[in-house]
Amino acid sequence: MDKYLVFGNPISQSKSPFIHTLFARQTGQEMTYESQQPEPDGFVAAATAFFNSGGRGCNVTAPFKEDAFAFATRLTERAQLAGAVNTLKKLDDGEIVGDNTDGEGLVQDLLQNQVELKGKRVLLVGAGGAARGVLQPLLAQNPQQVVVTNRTEAKAEQLATLFSAHGPVTHIAMEELAKPEFDIIINSTSAGLSGQLPALPTTIIKREMTCYDMVYSAQVTAFNQWSIDNGAGKTLDGLGMLVGQAAESFMLWRGIRPGAKQVLRELRRLLQ
């Protein structure tokens, strides 16, 4: 039986074993998918042992995405640009490919929800690892523009510069935001995890826009509630992105694209 797993610390909250077990059942793949929690400095030893014992591939979540980036012997372009790896796959020649499927997971979830990026104006809030992980796949959809804004403005500027060769990306100071000029606002900040909101003006919200929070929770997330309260017509949370990135990893490993919809429905029910 082909072995897969997810590495993280902590890991007990991870939905990945549930998602991939459903994907495997749905597509008739003979595989196991478990979870493992290495010590904070124990990723390399754990991943080496896993692949030496016949492991075929793994997902990697916090805090090991940079360790996995260094561990891979070959990187996809999107992983290189993300500077982080969430998926490893062992090839027959022994090479370990590092990929990052987070951004494509976000894009696929938007598309599944009839939110087109082509020709649209996108505001990306936050300039940390989560923002960096999604920029290239967003730009690959040919938006009119992606504008990065961040509490610490210098980091937004750095990120926009880093991706400037990959599409129309600029940055703006949060204080300069005022007009409802965006079609999509994506919150990639970790502010919501501590019950906070990025300091965005309410005047940027309009009815005919989509607000996407990359985090998820059983209830409406803080950012999405703020968006709704200020008149946004459509909000989505990161549960769909989670399933989307898993589907991309599964595709990389097994060569079959699983259906996200049914799994997302079951996962949402499990959260309640």
Query: Is residue 152 part of an annotated ligand binding site?
Result: yes
Take residue 140 and report the two structure tokens written for it. 């690959």
- Cross-strand pairs, 33: 4
Token reading at 138: 């967003």
Closest residue to bound ligand ATR by CB: 128
Residue 9 CB, nearest approach to ligand ATR (Å): 15
Cβ proximity to ligand ATR: between 129 and 180 the closer is 129
* Footprint on this chain of ligand ATR (rule: CB under 6 A): 126-130, 150-152, 155, 188-191, 196, 198
Is position 150 annotated in a ligand binding site? yes
Closest approach of ligand ATR to the CB of residue 55, in Å: 25
The one-letter amino acid at 48: T
What's 231's DSSP letter?
T
**Cα(34)–Cα(59) distance, rounded to whole angstroms?**
10
Task: Say whether 103 counts as a known binding-site residue.
Answer: no
The residue among 139 and 263 lying less far from ligand ATR, judged by its C-beta, is: 139
- Candidate list 3, 65, 89, 90, residue with the active-site label: 65
Phi, psi of 26 (to 5 degrees): -60, -35
According to the annotation, is 214 in a ligand binding site?
Answer: yes
Eight-state DSSP code of residue 73: S
Nearer to ligand ATR, 191 or 211 (CB): 191
- Residue 268 CA to residue 65 CA, distance in Å, equals 26
Query: Measured between alpha carbons, how far is 243 from 254 in angstroms, rounded to an integer?
Result: 16
Smallest distance from ligand ATR to CB 95, Å: 27
Q: 3-class DSSP state for residue 184?
A: strand
**Known catalytic residue at 261:** no
Spacing of C-alpha 197 from chain mean position: 19
Q: How far is the CB of 106 from ligand ATR (least distance, A)?
A: 13
Closest-CA residue to 7 (of 33, 41, 43): 43
**Is 118 assigned a ligand-binding role in the annotation?**
no
Q: Which is nearer to ligand ATR, 31 or 131 (CB)?
A: 131
Is-contact 257 108, C-beta < 8 A?
Answer: no
Positions at the binding site: 14-16, 61, 77, 86, 102, 126-130, 150-155, 214, 216, 238, 245
Positions at the binding site for shikimate: 14-16, 61, 86, 102, 216, 245
Positions at the binding site for NADP(+): 77, 126-130, 150-155, 214, 238
Known catalytic residues are 65
